[in-house]
Amino acid sequence: MSEKISSHIIGLGYYAPENIIDNSYFSQFMDTSDQWIQERTGIQERRFVNKGQGPSDIAIPAVKIALKNANLSVNDIDFIIFSTSTPDYYIPGSGCLIQEKMNFPNIGALDIRCACTGFIYALSIADQYIKTKTYKNVLVISSEVQSTSMDLSNNGRDTAVIFADGAAAAILTANFDGEGILSTHLHTQGKYAKELWVESPSSAMSPKLDKNIIKSGKHFLKMNGREVFKHAVKRFPEVILEALNHNKLNIKDIDLLIPHQANIRISKMVQKKLELNDNQVFSNIHKYGNTTSASIPIALCEAINQKQLSKGDILVLAGFGSGFSWGSAILKW
């Protein structure tokens, strides 16, 4: 009888840039207020990078912490998966950049662009590599620098006050004791792609970027907030229940749910629909805003630091975002 392999997180780390931006900052550029932002998003402050920093730069301290916690060095990592919707460059991917900046061996580095669901997708990919014994230690990075591409005007008010910068890293390896990832569940519905997107630069356009595109603001993130909210509060419970049912578990078995930190109203609605207690759902959006793919692993790091997870606990991760894409992962901690 062959051993059953699961993928286990053995090291985690996160980095929140040093610049703390409170809600009053935005009142310089648009008609908004601290009260308006808190009531609609739950955000009190967020972090912005220093000038010249990209996602590969702010990922470095997160990776260093993850390596230290796993008692590993860069030479122990066999593969890198880098999740970001805001890559350092159009080409090449940010995974290649972190390989060079941190002196990893000449291992493979895969970028994925699944926006807010990126960490879930990255875990799923790492899980398959480990279960098939392709790689022993896989580094998953989620890092976003969104402050540099916000429309700081009334036209961009619905996005500029929400999105922020941050990075987190996880190291996964094989486990034979039943701990780790039990399953992942991934979905997309591209008919809603334009409800949350950046139109330009686009390879379908020539030129990809010009003065008219910039003047029209097509290079800024656009979001149909009502449509995103409507779908998120539907898809979150669906994909969480999908994961539970797949593993013959129920709501009461959840020790901790960490949803993507998109909007406190979405999280509260999902909690209400699933009839979860406050101590079953983790939230830190008030401190960091929406860091897209980095939000789940940053929250996971904080949950561990606050001792909200114990060995053997059932942990559910769930995300929803641009694409539309959504997914869940269920782990035995």
Among all residues, which ones are annotated catalytic?
A: 116, 260, 290
Contacts of 83 (CB under 8 A, 6+ apart): 111, 112, 113, 114, 118, 119, 121, 122, 140, 141, 142, 143, 293
User: Any idea what the Cα angle at residue 116 is, between residues 113 and 120, rounded to 5°?
Assistant: 80
Please name every residue paired with 317 in a beta bridge, in sequence order, or none if there are none.
258, 329
> Which 3 state secondary structure label does DSSP give 57?
helix
Contact status, residue 266 vs residue 236, Cβ threshold 8 Å = yes
Contacts of 214 (CB under 8 A, 6+ apart): none
Cα(300)–Cα(42) distance, integer angstroms? 19
CA atoms within 13 A on the CB side of 215: 3
Cα(239)–Cα(157) distance, integer angstroms? 30
| Token pair listed for 130 | 């480990």
For the chain, state the CA radius of gyration.
19
Cα(74)–Cα(101) distance, integer angstroms? 11
| Token pair listed for 256 | 């901790």
Q: Quick one: which H or E segment has residue 326?
A: strand 325-332
Contact status, residue 256 vs residue 246, Cβ threshold 8 Å = no
Q: Quick one: which H or E segment has residue 112?
A: strand 108-112
